[in-house]
Structure 1
């Protein structure tokens, strides 16, 4: 049976560390769900790059479908660690990460990933794989002998949680679930939910 902590960030950090210790592939992988202008929901996997005192940071191309949907200002993250029979659902509001922080993170990426951020017109139709590889070659030549700058359309997004739910699988589907809500004076006492 789960024993909730007063601070959901502390609980999140502990579970993420346990997932890392298990040697799982991409324990920082999370489903990011957004909604389009037509009201249609959309989900995809992204990687958590930082957990700050305010929330959860990931990076993307702002000109992609995902980037456009982030403009609505709200999203949901879902972490699922099958090996631990656990998941965390996080709903919140969005802010762009400061350019300096995006620059700093971009500078740590492998060079080919940096070039890929320039080469890919993410979410747009692509005539062939060869066309993408030709764009990569052109950009490799363009930036040869110099650092690859961060594209202006690429950067970080911070999800500031307003609701966090922790779920632990139980026998016979009698799962443990706890919900935290963010209020003006901080996080609520966790509420146990029916499974």
Structure 2
């Protein structure tokens, strides 16, 4: 029997997703994980056809976890299921290798459609995200300035927008202080800002700290 890994730190969410899968994809076995470490442990023990992955879990660098999964298990499909705003995170995680992005507040019918689409080997993109991508393409530019940041710069920008110091960021991401400082400098240059207050304002406008 093929297996699906449901990774979310909230037991209620995992339970709900398990019910949806069991009722609509009864030929799949469901396994659970609640943070990056347990995702890695489960994937090292079993082969999974699909991972339903939350982006915000304790002690988890979601970008690094995505890279770990896609590099070690390229045959495993990833469907992001998150509360993070789709207009910002959706395109970014599709670029990082996810096959789809789904909001946790989506209706059950959309969840079933998303899972079925990804299991069939296709990418799932909501109408909202499709509209955003088409709008960007028609205008020939990025509508969101944060899209110009690398995955690591984006992580640092989120933490800076939450008033974390470079020391806190370097410790949290397990990077050197000088590396965190370099990321900050590049973020300011790419966003064309000079002060932390401007970053916080941009983050609020584009909802990156939601």
TM exceeding 0.5: no
Which structure has more RCO (C-alpha within 8 Å, separation ≥ 6)?
Answer: 1
Name the larger-Rg structure. 1
TM-score by length of 2: 0.27
Higher strand share: 1
TM-score by length of 1: 0.28
